[in-house]
Structure 1
Amino acid sequence: MRRILSLLLCTLLVVPFTLPASAKAPVPAIKSQPGFATLTKAVDQTIDKNIKEGRIAGTVVLVSYDGQLVYHRAAGLADPEKKMPMKEDSLFRLASVSKAFTSMAAGALLEKGKLKLDDPVSKWLPDFKPKTADGKQPVVTVRHLMTHTAGLDYGFFQPKDGPYRKAGVSDGLERSDIALDENIRRIASAPLLFEPGSAWHYSLAIDVLGGVVAKANGTSFPQAMADLVTIPLGMKDTVFYVQEKDRARMTAPYYLDREGKLARMNDRDADVPMGEGSIHFSPDRPYDTKSWPSGGAGLTGTAPDLIILLETIRKGGAPIISDGLMKQMCANQTGKLTVMPGTAYGLGWAVLTDPDAAKSPQSAGTLFWSGVYGHNWFTDPAKKLSVVILTTTTLDSLESHGLATDVRDAIYTSLPK
């Protein structure tokens, strides 16, 4: 069951607009750009098809080619019950899309020399000394956290009486009034799944990384994220806690029930079907400042902010990370460890190593990840592409026939030669 859920979680247009290195300039006026009419039509048809079939209520899709936004569209409804149209600055619960931001924050500290990849996590979090099932206490490093090779887990991968549930570990998707440090302590109290570095397993590692980032920066984690990533890149909407004035821009989360029909989540609590089990969500978590800041799942943001991050990565990391370190972060850091077919893992995201094995039209070296609230992103350096796909349908990004896969395929079959 754990392996099935892990694989599900890992699976898964026309205008000139130069994205500046600092990304501090406002978005300029949009004008038509020749050469992308076919791509625009293909992606439009794909989005319209998914809305008509009832897979999604709304979406925002951005496609950047060689530093220019060649497709942008907000389609459908941000909140069907309120008849609120989707807008390009609509706010989405980012779920695991948060991991890319947290990894970039860690990268900024690596760049400053305040953090090292082979630092023991216990250097920054003295009580983080988890043991294996046989009682050994191996060293867990920052590198292990950033590559998901630390031997940690997610509670939703475990049975209801599993060690994470018994320890009261929060997965970062539900409301919780415990502190970040306390959640990390609870994670460390549970046994490791394996010796760090010996296997790959998707987990709460990036949440622990958030604790390390906070300590290394000498601030709270939300402040560290602002200091290291969102302020330097000029992002206005990527936050852990949404202010009252911005709540009107929040999208309403939906999911496909077991009959394949769209169902709205309850604001406070929702159990969404996944495989043979379910994942527990609290959609109003972004409004609860008592909930701990989850580096793996807790950010809220917009498509424009995310495309800035992707272009920063694709262009080499400036102004927060040097080109040399950025290349290291984007390279295969897990060797032959099993991630997904044709896929390895870098320092914060998946790296496509064999497009044929992955059955993907993307180029080798493409970086990608998704989020369970229904989002997907990728950047293909060889094609000079960065793509953001945010939706209102939880788990849609993990479906092989969902909007993200459809948009990806539409883009690659219609790129100008």
Structure 2
Amino acid sequence: MAASLGLAPASPPPAAVPSRADSATLAPDAALKVRVDSVIDRAIAEKRIVGTVVVVAKDGKVVYQRAAGLADREAKKPLRQDALFRLASLTKAMTSVAALKLVEQGKLGLEDPVTKWIPTFRPKLPDGTEPVITVRQLLTHTAGLTYDFLEPADGPYHKARVSNGLDQPGLSMEENLRRLASAPLSYEPGKRWGYSMATDVLGEVVARAGGAPLPVVIEKLITRPLGMTDTAFRVKDAARLTTPYADGKPEPVRIGESLFVPNGISGVTFVPGRVFDARSFASGGGGMVGTAADYLKFLEVLRTGGAPVLKTDTVTQLTTDQVGPEAASAGPGWGFGLGVGVLVDPVKAQSPQSVGTYKWMGAYGHSWFVDPKQGLTVVALTNTTFEGMWGPFTAALRDAVYDAGH
């Protein structure tokens, strides 16, 4: 397993191929608007997404922003730029940054065993042995854990009723960690990469090392210093919260109180009302609510070196592949850093993005990426899963930003 903390060597971005002949003579920002508007309009017209907020920044300047479609289709409520979304796994980067801030403060160590902070969290391998799991392994998703939606329907996490942070309102962290530790590890920690509940466990480590509940620690270390006034583990303004939908024919299906959405392996059960139940554990892997504008602030801080949240060296570690391209964390050509997917091989990824681009996605229908070499930061929040997370919309939007469509 690769563990280099140096940035991957630079490689030239692929040659841009104009995607729209009619935009070729327009000013750059105007041409970008034509291309991105076209992608959004088509996805809405084809009823693949219900609504979206997209923001594109170049070298710190917002060069495109748009709210399109509906926040609530049945109520015919237009989506606004200040709409609130259930962020799902976009929460992970913030939990990871909070952990790294505690490392900088000397309150937490990357090589600390998790049992230093959660003495009762002792999951075992199938043979009954109890390996050491470290904070670094939680950050890199190499801890031997998994997710219920990555197992068959009769898998250990389903049998133990482990919550992935999107369901089971009212479940406590203590009980969920007990259930998680009762299931066997999927592999020996440190031996490979596997997307998992690791960031939820990390969230509890952050809470204990930070001396306060996770929402308080993240507010103190990240959202308050950055002025992310709409982002929290609770809903700041219910009137601005978007209604979630799931892929369906002839149009996306309203999720309602609860909906099981198949994903090809088993599936994800979404319970949108979880966010309103104060008893629900604060899921470091998927529990926050926020806006596109707030998330852009967070990503821009990382792109520009981390101040006032992290030191530049720490951001470099966060955004450098730690596990090797064999992780394929976000598909072929993608490795993984200390909490984000990192592009190692644009050719394998079939992407116009530069080496060193980092990104992630959220199950409620979101995606983002930062391309440091190009000075690009892109946030795309939708209210439609899974299209807005990994459907054709995300690739088309990326290619429109780079003018790399064919």
Q: Does 1:303 align with 2:300?
A: no
Percentage of pairs with the same residue: 50
Distance 1:129 1:277, change over 3 A: closer
Deviations 1:303-339 (A, max 9, x none): 0011011101111111011001110111111035432
1:321 correspondence with 2:298: no
- Name the counterpart of 1:363: 354
CA deviation after TM superposition for structure 1 residue 276, in Å = 5.4
Distance 1:260 1:355, change over 3 A: farther
Alpha-carbon distance in structure 2 between the residues aligned to 1:272 and 1:341: 24
Q: Deviation at 1:55?
A: 0.7
One-letter identity of the residue aligned with 1:274: N
Alignment-derived partner of residue 376 in structure 1: 367
Verify the 8 A CA contact 1:355 1:361 in the aligned structure 2: yes
Amino acid at match of 1:409: D
1:345 corresponds to which of 336, 345, 350: 336
Q: Which amino acid aligns with 2:396?
A: D
Q: Is the 8 A contact 1:38 1:414 kept in 2?
A: no
Contact 2:325/2:344 (8 A) holds in 1: no
Over 3 Å counting, the alpha-carbon distance change for 1:260 and 1:274 in structure 2 is farther
1:287 and 2:280 aligned: no
* Contact 1:170/1:176 (8 A) holds in 2: no
Does 2:168 correspond to 1:175? yes
Which one of 43, 55, 68 corresponds to residue 61 of structure 2? Answer: 68
Q: Does 1:412 align with 2:402?
A: yes
SS of 1:172 mapped into structure 2? coil
The alignment's C-alpha RMSD in Å is 1.6
Q: Deviations over 1:121-169 (max 9, x none)?
A: 1111111111111111111000100000000011122233322122221
Task: Indicate the larger mover: 406-415 or 52-61.
Answer: 406-415
SS at match of 1:284: helix
CA contact (8 A) 1:255 1:265 kept: yes
Q: Partner of 2:246: helix, strand, or coil?
A: strand
Aligned to 2:159: 166
Amino acid of the residue matched to residue 208 of structure 1?
V
Post-superposition CA distance 1:37-87 (Å, at most 9, x none): 111110011111111111111100000100110100011111111111111
Superposition deviation, residue 185 in structure 1: 2.2
Do the aligned partners of residues 181 and 228 (structure 1) sit closer, same or farther apart at CA in structure 2, a change above 3 Å counting? farther
Match of 1:265 among 229, 238, 255: 255
Alignment equivalent of 2:70, drawn from 74, 77, 97 = 77
Kindly provide the amino acid, as one letter, of the partner of residue 164 in structure 1: Y
1:336 and 1:117 map into 2 onto residues whose CA distance is 22
Count of aligned pairs between the two proteins: 378
Instruction: Report the equivalent of 1:392.
Output: 383
Say if 2:190 is the partner of 1:197. yes
- In the alignment, residue 359 of structure 1 is paired with which amino acid? Q
CA contact (8 A) 1:102 1:209 kept: yes
2:51–2:69 CA contact under 8 A, matched in 1: yes
Letter in structure 2 aligned against 1:47: I
For the Cα contact (< 8 Å) 1:79–1:85, is it kept in 2?
Answer: yes
Alignment equivalent of 1:105, drawn from 82, 98, 104: 98
Separation (CA, whole Å) in 2 of partners of 1:40 and 1:414: 14
Task: Give the Cα–Cα distance (whole angstroms) in 2 for the partners of residues 209 and 284 of structure 1.
Answer: 24
Please give the TM-score of this superposition, normalised by the length of structure 1. 0.88
**Cα distance in structure 2, aligned partners of 1:235 and 1:311:** 12
1:312 aligned residue: 301
Unmatched 5+ residue regions in structure 1?
Answer: 1-32
Q: Map Cα deviations across residues 223-281 of structure 1 (whole Å, 9 max, x no partner).
A: 111111111111111111114xx111011111112x45311111x21111322533101
1:278 aligns with 2:267: yes
Alpha carbons 1:372, 1:396 under 8 Å: kept: no
Whether the aligned pair in 1 keeps the contact of 2:149 and 2:263 (CA below 8 Å) is: no
Contact 2:150 2:266 (8 Å CA) reproduced: no
Per the normalisation by structure 2, the TM-score is 0.90
Pick closer, same or farther for the CA change 1:336–1:359 going to 2, 3 Å.
closer
